[in-house]
Amino acid sequence: MPLLKVYNPATVVKHLNGLINVYKPKNMKLNQVKTAILYNICRDLNEMYSNQIEASKTPLLEPGGAANPILRKIDSLNLAEDILSKGPAYQMDDISCTPALSLGLHTSGVLILGLNRGIRLYRTAQKKPPMRAYHVTVQMGVATENHFSDSRKTVRANFTHVRANRISGLASSLQASHQRKMYELCGVDLQSQAAYELACKGLIRPVDKTLPVVYGIKLIGFQPPYFTLEIHAINETEDYLAALVNDMAIELKTVGHCSAIRCVRHGPYVVEKSLLRHGWNLAGVVRNMREQKEIT
């Protein structure tokens, strides 16, 4: 399908309905991300609108006055269209922006935002909570108050005895325990035929949307004092993930805290297709929205 350049801002706003996949930086609040995107969209729309008004101005002739009787050329003045009298044509309140699922302050990565009717279409298609994948980096040897690196350090411990095989074994054990818990919540024995038939139907999801469940956890990087885990979970929060890796450090006979959390997948949306901060403008949003429509 050929792409057409559109110079009418009203036409752009009419088709500004869909999902965008943006990359949320660390230590940036969700409202700050939404404000930055909406501000840039409205700025570009107002620039298109002002260019349209400039092109529609018609030249007039008026007498130069008693001292200069020669007619001079002027532009028509329409105060109804002047920005100093009516203000910006498009404001941030004119466009709704709603996140599909929120990300915490310390988390970076994939953030799905719905513009106007886009979030309604997303919730219609995604009737079940999507699985998200994270890369969580842990620093061993230091524990903090809130399990993140920006709070006060409370405990120090030795970590030289920790090896990659011990972390991998603990991760496999945690994954198995969470899978066992899902079957127990369904009231099914893990070794029964009913459990096999339930597993054949697909991914088992919790009915309670506030219950976090880990479906996969594995070690993908080990460089002491840091190691990185890949975690697949549903209904999780950054506080839950930070508490999880803190408990893992205690099981490894040391202490640790979460130094970085990066969301790399949100259902079918991946971090490679995320819109970086320098692309948070009207052209980048429209291009990214078209890419996400192809995915869904």
Q: How far is it, in rounded angstroms, from Cα 140 to Cα 162?
A: 9
Tell me what pLDDT residue 1 has. 46
Query: Model's pTM, two decimal places?
Result: 0.86
The two tokens of residue 222 are 């080990």
Q: How far is it, in rounded angstroms, from Cα 250 to Cα 157?
A: 10
Q: How far is it, in rounded angstroms, from Cα 228 to Cα 57?
A: 61
Mark residue 235 as left, alpha or beta (left: phi above 0; alpha: psi -120 to 50; beta: remaining): left
The two tokens of residue 143 are 């524990």
Sequence ranges of the domains in the chain: 9-124+271-294, 131-266
Tell me what pLDDT residue 192 has. 82
Is there a contact between 44 and 282 (Cβ–Cβ < 8 Å)?
yes
The number of residues making up the chain comes to: 296
- Sign, CA dihedral 159-160-166-167, equals positive
Which stretches of the chain drop beneath a pLDDT of 50?
1, 66, 69
What is the maximal distance between C-alpha atoms in the chain? 103
Task: Tell me how far CA of residue 25 lies from CA of 135, 191, 221, 264, in angstroms.
Answer: 14, 44, 22, 13
CATH of domain 131-266: 3.30.2350.10
